Amino acid sequence: MNFKNLSTKELTGNIFTELHNDWMLISSGDEQKLNMMTASWGGFGVLWNKHVSFAFVRPQRYTLEFLEAHDYYSLSFFEPEYREELSLCGRKSGRDIDKIEATGFNPIFSSSAPYFKEASKVMICKKIYTDFIKPENFIDKKIIDFYPEHDYHKVYIGEIVEVLVKR
């Protein structure tokens, strides 16, 4: 295996550039069927004394069906050489194409959620809380402009149960 386990406290890097500029893949499923999508909104932090991730997934994403059906998901980060594959996973739906075939990525099933041999860093997350963004709760009402179709994100808070980095 070309990954090693780290604790969350050993992580380095700037999560703002890693998420906003470099993006991540949210993946869930099993050996029979999995799906992944690109995400650049989210976060990492401390909640209920756990180290957690926050992911925001619009209801029409195919990936949401996998997130709903499984207890775990992975967040994978990649080197710039995989930018085109990440772009594809953010443009196309797994409903229309087989993203494993289209990217050539090699899924690994050794943890509670699938991740990819090509990733440089992976966080395996256990769902602990979900809810939909509610328009009536926006204090800054301008943000509602992000939702002309009223497709408010579903928020996933996941306990980070495993961190893997490429050796």
Ligand X SMILES: Cc1cc2nc3c(=O)[nH]c(=O)nc-3n(C[C@H](O)[C@H](O)[C@H](O)COP(=O)(O)O)c2cc1C
37 binds ligand X (CB under 6 A): yes
Question: Where are any strands of DSSP class E within the chain?
Answer: 3-6, 24-29, 34-39, 42-47, 50-57, 72-77, 107-108, 115-116, 121-132, 154-166
Rounded Cα gap, residues 104 and 115, in angstroms? 13
State which of residues 3, 29, 53, 61 lies at the interface with ligand X (CB under 6 A): 61
147 binds ligand X (CB under 6 A): no
**Which residue in this structure is represented by tokens 């509610």?**
134
Q: Based on DSSP, count helices (H) and strands (E) in the chain, helices before strands.
A: 4, 10
State which of residues 56, 120, 144, 161 lies at the interface with ligand X (CB under 6 A): 56
What is the smallest separation between the CB atom of 59 and ligand X, expressed in angstroms?
9
State which of residues 6, 11, 18, 41 lies at the interface with ligand X (CB under 6 A): 41
Q: Return the number of the residue (3 or 73) whose C-beta is nearest ligand X.
A: 73
Q: Is 68 helix (H, G, I), strand (E, B) or coil?
A: helix
Q: Which residue is nearest to ligand X (CB)?
A: 90
Q: Which two tokens stand for residue 69?
A: 């059906």
State which of residues 11, 15, 38, 120 lies at the interface with ligand X (CB under 6 A): 38
| Residues lying near ligand X in the complex (CB under 6 A) | 23, 35, 37-41, 56-58, 61-63, 90-95
